[in-house]
């Protein structure tokens, strides 16, 4: 096999059959434009299937647009990260590709003093600023919660007339929509306020330790920094508490009856049931604002809207408790282990490195809780409320005949949706039928079939010629993409029996593969299987009680899969590039989370 | 492998130590089991046995055994004026006359071995062996145990005898006497004369230790000998007794373990066609061909690798510096508690390396800046 040196150009990658014309679903600025081929092909793009593993519905591009734009603004305009501007992004054949933007060499030096002043302020005042961040984000969530989309009434309310308001209900509807989008925009601005700096400080400690101990496993460094009381695990902890309470109140049998409504009714009738129902209700706000997806897709399911998900997990925990199993996370053990590991490595340091170790570890531990916890506040809680509000709007327009199923709304881009809203209001005002119910259903049907065709073809890991050495710090930091991993992608199919990835969580096991491409397939996982997925979300936590190991296509040491697996003591290999495409359901695998090797045994 | 100088050699007692010997030489304290020794016992156990006792106390299993203390030796030398007779003989040696030295030292040794061991000493040795052997014919190693403080020269090591495959109480008593006598072989006497270590104050303890029937054995270093990386434990391992691994006669399996996380990072399994195994009847180790299906199997399970690494790590931690450990998996011990350390000595190659000039690191936002710029600098 000849060694490949470059990935295909996007201009050579044709649309899969049935997806021709997909470009019409996305705004022009997200597409590789024909007239810019020379410029675009001159750049290296990698596919971000870590955050966006499946093709975008038109509305859902808002997540990549806001997220990656806001990432960029902090590098380029807030902190002036000397060598790095933002990350440019395109959508091609439904998937998104990223290209980090370096700062011209002559501009790097002049940015240094500004960076030191701006980033220095954040590092010096981290706890206070983070405290303020929590206040801002909670206020933003409250603003999102307060949004109210209402069907246009027959007539403008009489009191508006009497009070001389002088506005109609369409004005309020448009305003609420625009406000929802703006609040989402704010959500993502806040998301990156601390993230880039947090990762950078973590990486400073990481690099320092690697320099001291060149062959130290990455996971050892992660263990020295990782938090013990992590908000991200709270939702799962709440379910465990509810499972225990069900047993101690003796309502566990009632909880197992039928679907959600039947079970809750049975619990309500049982003695002690009221106490359990109160606890169940109390846990929901905010902890059930939690998705089994990653928050980036309109079809991500949130517990609070799908109570069957948390209830299913509670039932599974009840069974394990009855079997005498311990379901609690061993937090005391994790804390003790973190201290032991830290002390042992510290003792191996050269004497002149000890002070630096302490200083850098200190900073890493200050900043890292944000890296671990922000996910709950943004991807889970904030996005839960945003998507819920959007579904309220979808239902209104569905009732007005704009589309055949409520969630079809997400096959419109956010700009198109604004047009549809105007159409709805315009027709209401003029006193005619809106055009949308005629225009959108066939268009949505066509887009659905295009997206189905796009989803059948997995993305290229990257596009064009990679740089000889990956030097862009955020590519390495946030995506875990290194010179080595790009080489692995290029040589991907050399040995189909062995896949190499990142040794993300230690341990070695053998077991049957279960390939899961979306959260909807999670229910298929059987006891003792090895989870193989493009990427996992931390909210999959409850299935981690069932599985033996995890293998992902994308992700580094600090990816969700890695964090959760270390937490649950399961082996994990992340960033294999192609495990979910190479491995088939039911194949026997050997996963070595200490070396990063996955062997297909049969 | 280099012999451990620390474990072989003569001990010159300090006045204080002599005083202790006098006080306790009343029939008590002739025997100290390795796993029962306390710190005050160490001087009368000799260097080798004291080291084994310290290892045991720190949770490192060693082959079971006991020390026949310096007091037992002193008691033996006191009987029938033996000490005076031997001292006079040794005093009269002309160290420049090889023949004279040879002949007189042989007579001194003969005097020591011919004399009957005091009854209470002999009873104590027999009782201790009986307990160790559990009533069976257990093969043991009997070897001298003295401190090495006066003996920087490794060539001296081995001048005192080590007896392997000793079976039965009679033979143990005889070999203990032989060890005592080995203090008076010609080279030992020359050495002491040259170094001004005079006769009467030289004392000797003797170690009696179970011969390990090793299912697998080898060496563990608490740093990577290739690059000095102290976060690694590197283990060489083969089937059977460890000597062929130690002497480099065979290519062993090789494991690299991350020291802090205790995770196996690398396994290289060699083809092993021979193993050294005990032949109890013949009272020696014999070379045996390994059946083909076993040759490419790992000599250590993953659990075994971790157990060996734990022991090496414990030794490094209480010795306070990187160690080179000989270990074995004892067939007679239960799974999970069957790794024993045979010997541990400081690693010398990397530990002697000069420490690089002290350097400084930037902290806080300056450190973060350095990290952000680092990939760029690496490219240049």
Determine how β-strand A597-600 pairs with β-strand B11-12.
unpaired
ipTM entry? 0.80
The one-digit pLDDT tens for each residue of chain B (380 residues) are 233 333 323 333 333 333 333 333 334 689 999 998 988 888 889 888 888 888 888 889 999 999 999 999 999 999 888 988 988 888 888 878 888 888 888 999 999 999 999 999 999 999 999 999 988 889 999 988 875 544 434 334 445 577 888 999 999 999 999 999 888 877 777 777 776 665 555 678 999 999 999 999 999 999 988 888 899 999 999 999 988 888 777 889 999 999 999 989 889 998 998 899 988 888 888 999 999 999 999 999 999 999 999 999 999 998 888 999 999 999 988 888 899 998 888 887 777 665 666 677 899 999 999 888 876 665 43
DSSP A301: P
Q: Which two tokens stand for residue A315?
A: 């039932």
Given phi > 0 = left and psi -120 to 50 = alpha, else beta, which region is B228?
left
Selecting from A223, A348, A355 the residue whose C-beta is nearest the C-beta of B231 gives A348
Asked if B351 reaches chain A (Cβ–Cβ under 8 Å), the answer is no
Please tell me the distance from the alpha carbon of residue A294 to that of residue A49, in angstroms, as a whole number: 12
What angle in degrees, to the nearest 10, is found between the helix axes of A169-212 and A383-399? 150
Q: What is the mean pLDDT of residues A471-479?
A: 73
Asked if A199 reaches chain B (Cβ–Cβ under 8 Å), the answer is no
Mutate to test the interface with B, among A209, A351, A471 (most CBs of B within 10 A): A471
Q: Which two tokens stand for residue A97?
A: 């590709």
Listed by start position, the domains of chain A span 180-385, 493-600
Residues of A in contact with B259 (CB under 8 A): 344, 348
Q: Of chain B residues 224-243, which have a CB less than 8 A from chain A?
A: 224, 229-232
Listed by start position, the domains of chain B span 68-210, 214-360
Selecting from B355, B366, B367 the residue whose C-beta is nearest the C-beta of A350 gives B355
- Could you tell me which of B146, B179, B163 has the C-alpha nearest to residue B42? B146
Asked if B372 reaches chain A (Cβ–Cβ under 8 Å), the answer is yes
DSSP A291: B
pLDDT tens-digit map of A526-564: 888 999 988 776 567 678 878 999 998 876 665 667 767
The pair phi, psi for residue B269, each rounded to 5°, is -95, 120
pLDDT tens-digit map of A134-158: 999 999 999 999 999 999 999 999 9
Given phi > 0 = left and psi -120 to 50 = alpha, else beta, which region is B293?
alpha
The hierarchical CATH code for the domain B68-210 is 3.30.1490.20
Q: Which CATH architecture has domain B214-360?
A: 2-Layer Sandwich (3.30)
What stretches of A86-217 show up as alpha helix (H) in DSSP?
A: 105-124, 126-146, 158-162, 169-212
Nearest CA of chain A to the CA of B7: how many Å?
28
pLDDT tens-digit map of A411-434: 999 999 999 999 999 999 999 999
Asked if A158 reaches chain B (Cβ–Cβ under 8 Å), the answer is no
Nearest CA of chain B to the CA of A266: how many Å?
48
CB-based contact B372 A219, cutoff 8 Å = no
Nearest CA of chain B to the CA of A197: how many Å?
8
Asked if B88 reaches chain A (Cβ–Cβ under 8 Å), the answer is no
Asked if A356 reaches chain B (Cβ–Cβ under 8 Å), the answer is yes
Mutate to test the interface with A, among B359, B371, B377, B379 (most CBs of A within 10 A): B371
Cis-peptide into A499, omega within 30 deg: no
Whether CATH 3.30.930.10 fits A493-600: no
């Amino acid at each position: 096999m000849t060694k490949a040196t470059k990935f295909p150009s996007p201009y050579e990658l044709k649309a899969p059959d049935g997806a021709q014309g997909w470009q019409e679903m996305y705004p022009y600025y997200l597409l590789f434009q024909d007239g810019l081929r020379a410029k675009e092909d001159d750049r290296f793009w990698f596919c971000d299937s870590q955050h966006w593993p499946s093709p975008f519905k038109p509305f859902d591009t808002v997540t990549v647009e806001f997220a990656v734009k806001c990432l960029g603004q902090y590098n380029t305009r807030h902190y002036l990260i000397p060598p790095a501007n933002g990350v440019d992004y395109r959508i091609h054949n439904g998937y998104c590709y990223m290209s980090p933007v370096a700062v011209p060499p002559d501009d790097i030096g002049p940015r240094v003093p500004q960076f030191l002043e701006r980033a220095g302020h954040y590092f010096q005042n981290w706890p206070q600023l983070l405290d303020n961040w929590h206040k801002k984000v909670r206020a933003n969530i409250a603003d999102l919660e307060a949004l109210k989309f209402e069907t246009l009434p027959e007539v403008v309310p009489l009191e508006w007339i009497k009070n001389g308001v002088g506005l109609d209900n369409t004005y309020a509807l448009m305003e609420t929509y625009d406000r929802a989008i703006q609040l989402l925009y704010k959500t993502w601005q806040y998301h990156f306020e601390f993230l880039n700096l947090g990762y950078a400080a973590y990486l400073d400690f990481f690099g320092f330790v690697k320099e001291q101990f060149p062959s130290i496993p990455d996971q050892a460094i992660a263990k020295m920094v990782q938090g013990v009381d992590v908000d991200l695990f709270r939702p799962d902890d709440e379910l465990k508490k509810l499972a225990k309470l069900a047993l101690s109140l003796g309502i566990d049998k009632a909880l197992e009856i039928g679907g959600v409504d039947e079970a809750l009714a049975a619990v309500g009738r049982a003695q002690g049931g009221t106490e359990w129902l109160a606890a169940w209700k109390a846990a929901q706000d905010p902890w059930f604002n939690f998705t089994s997806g990653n928050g980036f897709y309109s079809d991500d399911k949130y517990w609070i809207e799908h109570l069957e998900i948390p209830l299913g997990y509670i039932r599974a925990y009840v069974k394990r408790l009855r079997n005498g199993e311990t379901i609690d996370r061993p937090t005391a053990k994790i804390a003790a282990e973190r201290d032991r590991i830290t002390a042992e490595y510290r003792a191996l340091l050269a004497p002149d490195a000890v002070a630096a170790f302490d200083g850098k570890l200190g900073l890493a531990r200050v900043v890292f809780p944000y890296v671990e916890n922000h996910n709950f506040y943004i991807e889970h809680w904030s996005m839960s409320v945003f998507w819920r509000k959007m579904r309220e709007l979808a239902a209104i327009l569905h009732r007005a005949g704009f589309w055949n199923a409520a969630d079809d709304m997400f096959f419109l881009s956010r700009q198109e949706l604004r047009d549809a809203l105007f159409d709805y209001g315009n027709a209401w005002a003029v006193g005619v039928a809106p055009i949308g119910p005629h225009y959108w259903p066939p268009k949505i049907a066509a887009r659905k079939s295009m997206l189905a065709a796009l989803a059948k073809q997995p993305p290229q890991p990257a596009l064009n010629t990679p740089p000889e050495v990956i030097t862009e710090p955020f590519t390495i930091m946030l995506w875990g993409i290194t010179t080595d991993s790009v080489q692995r992608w290029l040589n991907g199919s050399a040995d189909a029996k062995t896949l190499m990835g990142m040794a993300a969580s230690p341990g070695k096991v053998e077991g049957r593969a279960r390939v899961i491409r979306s959260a909807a397939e999670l229910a298929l996982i059987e006891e003792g299987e090895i989870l193989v997925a493009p990427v996992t979300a931390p909210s999959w936590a409850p299935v981690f009680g069932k599985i033996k190991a995890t293998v992902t296509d994308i992700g580094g040491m600090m990816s969700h899969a890695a964090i959760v697996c270390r937490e649950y003591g399961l082996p994990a290999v992340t960033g294999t590039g192609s495990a979910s495409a190479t491995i088939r359901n039911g194949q026997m695998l050997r996963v070595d989370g200490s070396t990063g090797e996955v062997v297909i045994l049969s | 492998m280099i012999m451990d100088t620390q474990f072989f050699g003569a001990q010159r007692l300090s006045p204080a130590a002599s005083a202790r010997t006098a006080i306790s030489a009343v029939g008590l304290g002739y025997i100290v089991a390795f796993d029962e020794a306390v710190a005050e016992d160490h001087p009368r156990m000799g260097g080798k046995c004291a080291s084994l006792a310290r290892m045991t106390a720190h949770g490192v299993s060693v082959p079971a055994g006991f020390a026949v203390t310096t007091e037992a030796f002193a008691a033996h030398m006191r009987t029938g004026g033996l000490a005076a007779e031997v001292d006079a003989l040794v005093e009269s040696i002309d160290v420049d006359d090889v023949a004279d030295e040879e002949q007189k030292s042989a007579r001194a040794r003969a005097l020591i071995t011919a004399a009957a061991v005091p009854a209470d000493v002999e009873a104590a040795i027999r009782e201790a062996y009986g307990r160790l052997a559990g009533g069976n014919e257990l093969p043991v190693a009997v070897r001298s145990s003295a401190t090495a403080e006066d003996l920087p020269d490794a060539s001296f090591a081995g001048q005192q005898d080590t007896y392997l495959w000793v079976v039965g109480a009679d033979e143990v008593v005889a070999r203990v006497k032989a060890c005592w006598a080995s203090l008076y072989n010609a080279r030992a006497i020359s050495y002491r004369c040259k170094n001004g270590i005079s006769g009467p104050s030289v004392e000797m303890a003797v170690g009696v230790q179970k011969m390990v029937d090793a299912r697998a054995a080898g060496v563990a270093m608490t740093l990577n000998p290739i690059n000095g990386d102290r976060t690694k434990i590197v283990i060489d391992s083969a089937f059977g007794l460890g000597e062929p691994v130690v002497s480099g006669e065979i290519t062993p399996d090789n494991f690299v373990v991350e020291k802090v996380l205790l995770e196996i990072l690398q396994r290289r399994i060699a083809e092993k066609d021979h193993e050294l195994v005990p032949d109890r009847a013949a009272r020696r180790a014999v070379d045996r061909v390994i059946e083909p299906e076993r040759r490419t199997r790992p000599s250590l399970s993953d659990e075994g690798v971790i157990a060996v690494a734990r022991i090496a790590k414990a030794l490094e931690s209480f010795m306070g510096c990187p160690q080179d450990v000989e270990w074995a998996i004892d067939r007679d011990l239960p799974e999970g508690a069957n790794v024993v350390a045979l010997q541990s000595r400081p690693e010398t190659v990397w530990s002697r390396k000069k420490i690089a000039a002290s350097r400084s690191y930037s902290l806080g936002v300056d450190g973060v800046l350095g990290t952000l710029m680092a990939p760029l600098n690496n490219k240049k």
